[in-house]
Amino acid sequence: MNKTALAHYNNNGYKPEASAIKRLAWLWANALFLKSSLLPFSSLKAAILRLFGAKIGDNAVIRSGITIKYPWFLVVGNNVWIGENVWIDNLAETLIEDNVCISQGAMLLTGNHNFNTSTFDLIVAGITLEEGVWLGAQSVVCPGVTCKSHSVLAVGSVATKTLEAYSIYQGNPAVRVKSRAIQ
């Protein structure tokens, strides 16, 4: 039987599309301005994200304590709310359309590892949150998932597959529990 051999893990195939200097500068900027509460203004946080290549729409609300891996892979629409302690681990493009709410402590994970290989190879796939999506507090969206228009991922739930439009999902893995009727 083969065994995991993490000593042979090689991530050289993954290219974050930025120089080591830019990645280091972003690490510091993220820690100083997004992760901390030193900069309480969403507009200034959005400006800093734009400096590093993010595309941020109008009226974005960006709370404190957030971590964004690579802003150059981030596209955020208009009127988006990103709550405290959100982690956007975007090794690939992460598209957040208009009027999306990402609640406190939610995680968007675009990377994972292939547990069927001895070297635990990196797997990367983007995430899309379509218009009107709501991610509940402490929820997780896994690589390659699309949350369709106005879908809801309940508190603490884990989306491992595409969520249908106007549907509410709950659990780990998340399953559809009912329709979302907006009045």
**Per-residue pLDDT tens for 125-183?**
999 999 999 999 999 999 999 999 999 999 999 999 999 999 999 999 999 999 999 99
Q: Which residue has the tokens 């964004």?
A: 68
pLDDT digits (tens, 9 = 90+) for 79-99: 999 999 999 999 999 999 999
Count of C-beta atoms within a 10 Å radius of residue 147? 30
Residue 95 contacts by C-beta under 8 Å, 6 or more apart in sequence? Answer: 75, 126, 127, 128, 129
Instruction: Quote the pLDDT of residue 147.
Output: 98
Q: How sure is the predictor about 119, in pLDDT bands with cuts at 50, 70 and 90?
A: confident
CATH for the stretch 19-179: 2.160.10.10
User: At residue 107, does pLDDT exceed 80?
Assistant: yes
pTM confidence score: 0.95
Residue 1 contacts by C-beta under 8 Å, 6 or more apart in sequence? Answer: none
Given a contact cutoff of 8 angstroms between Cβ atoms, the answer to whether 94 and 49 are in contact is no
Instruction: Please compute, for residue 161, the number of CA atoms within 13 A of its CA located in the half-sphere on the CB side.
Output: 9
Instruction: Quote the pLDDT of residue 37.
Output: 84
